[in-house]
């Protein structure tokens, strides 16, 4: 078996570094998928988006940060439509979580996740200081990373790409 002096033993899959690189985004994809799936399901299972408690919690968070947010018009839109906004967020979180866990349509799902995380950042956690104490911006960066790299190993997207390459 040939040996790459930098990567180590080589086989038909490439060297050690290449194999690790193919699996490098898997922990990120699984973390974001589980987290968003859990967040979306939690909104439905703890009273659901139609529960007055959930709407009031959302309303309180938004009202608290409205004057210091980067996008007060977006806060007003969510406040004026609390029920549909909470339902939309919950459904989108579930969809993004499932798509990431399965690794199908990973790039579009990651872009939706990034848009949502950026939306949370500019509406709810904008005034968090220092910025790295807020959770929304790191989520957005994680989603953007997945949008750029794709699903990586152990995904439907990867299996489809392999099948397409073999068919050529």
Nearest to 89 by CA among 141, 42, 128, 142: 42
pLDDT along the chain (168 residues), means of 10: 44 70 89 94 72 70 83 88 87 97 96 96 86 89 94 90 87
Residue 50 near residue 34, CB atoms below 8 Å = no
List the structure tokens of 77.
């839109």
Burial class (CB in 10 A: 0-12, 13-18, 19+), 16: middle
The reported pLDDT for the residue numbered 69 is: 87
């Amino acid at each position: 078996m040939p040996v790459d002096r930098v990567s180590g033993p080589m086989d038909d899959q490439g060297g050690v570094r290449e194999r690790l690189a193919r699996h490098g985004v898997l922990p990120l994809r699984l973390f974001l998928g589980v987290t968003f799936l859990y967040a979306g399901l939690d909104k439905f299972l703890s009273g659901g988006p139609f529960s007055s408690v959930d709407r009031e919690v959302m309303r309180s968070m938004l009202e608290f940060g409205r004057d210091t947010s980067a996008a007060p018009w977006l806060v007003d839109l969510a406040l004026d439509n609390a029920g549909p906004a909470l339902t939309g967020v919950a459904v989108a979180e579930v969809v993004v979580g499932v798509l990431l866990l399965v690794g199908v349509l990973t790039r579009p799902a990651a872009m939706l996740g990034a848009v949502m995380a950026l939306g949370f950042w500019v509406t709810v956690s904008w005034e968090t200081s220092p910025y790295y104490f807020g959770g929304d911006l790191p989520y957005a960066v994680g989603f953007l990373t997945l949008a750029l790299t794709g699903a990586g190993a152990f995904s439907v997207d990867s299996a489809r790409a392999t099948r397409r390459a073999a068919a050529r």
